[in-house]
Amino acid sequence: MMTLRAANHCGKADYGWLQARYSFSFGHYFDPKFMGFKTLRVLNQEVIAPTNALQPRMYPHVDILNIILKGHAQYRDSLGNAIQASEGECVRFSPRPDLSYSEQNICPQTPLTRLQLWLNACPQQESLPLQKIVINENENQLIASPSGEYQSLQLRQQIWINQIHLESGKSYTMVLKGQNAFIQSIHGGATLRTQQGENLTMNCNDGVFIQDDHKIEIMANTDFRGLLIDLGGT
């Protein structure tokens, strides 16, 4: 079964220096029908104006992925540890419960645009060392996985995150690890088809819930770049 999460139905915020779109309840935006999906807790796209920063905050027991789509970011914890990331890079950090973390656009001219995911971590697993990888937007790539296979980021949960890149008219079939997934368009639209023959069309920045299916075919209606978040057996 597939359900569309259209971009224009998502939560939104515009503070001038910060513009955001929330797939699930976050901050001031609350919708009891969208409190996350299985172990996917947060999926935000945010644009931070040059030199501006999000205030330091503490996090629950999650793994956080920041995919930089444009600009340059710096992440800093309350101990003073810092890391920078630029367009085409993805940072994964596992927040410690006793530390706060901040995010800043360190570019004086360019807005920072990034996708942020929160993924519920297994309660028994402690924080992992910070990781950063390069993502080629024109390739299919495993971005994150439980074991860190194929030089992907390591997660503390049975979740696999794949980048899907397709030229217009091309298709790609993905066999899921479990029966649940979420597909998020970063750029372009596609038609999705399940093993049962169900079809659904998604447009740029839309998301789609996949439930009770093991295989999904993605056919690009335009040049398409997106995330396939395979939630395993959850």
| Cα dihedral: 72, 131, 119, 106 (round 10) | -20
pLDDT at 234: 57
Tens of pLDDT, residues 173-191: 999 998 999 999 999 999 9
Q: Collect all residues with Cβ–Cβ distance below 8 Å to 185 and sequence separation of at least 6.
A: 7, 202, 203, 204, 205, 206, 207, 224, 225, 226
Tens of pLDDT, residues 45-73: 999 999 999 999 999 999 999 999 999 99
Mean of the pLDDT values across residues 167-172? 97
Tens of pLDDT, residues 84-135: 999 999 999 999 999 999 999 999 999 999 999 999 999 888 888 899 999 9
Instruction: Name the helix (H) or strand (E) containing 219.
Output: strand 215-220
Tens of pLDDT, residues 195-229: 888 999 999 999 999 999 999 999 999 999 999 99
**Domains contained in the chain, CATH given:** 2-230 (2.60.120.10)
What b-and-e string marks burial along 82-113, b requiring 16 or more CB atoms within 10 Å of the CB?
Answer: eeebebebbbbbbbbeeeebebbbbbeeebbb
Residue 151, phi-psi category: left (phi > 0), alpha (psi -120 to 50), beta (remainder): left
Give the side-chain half-sphere CA count within 13 A for 191: 10
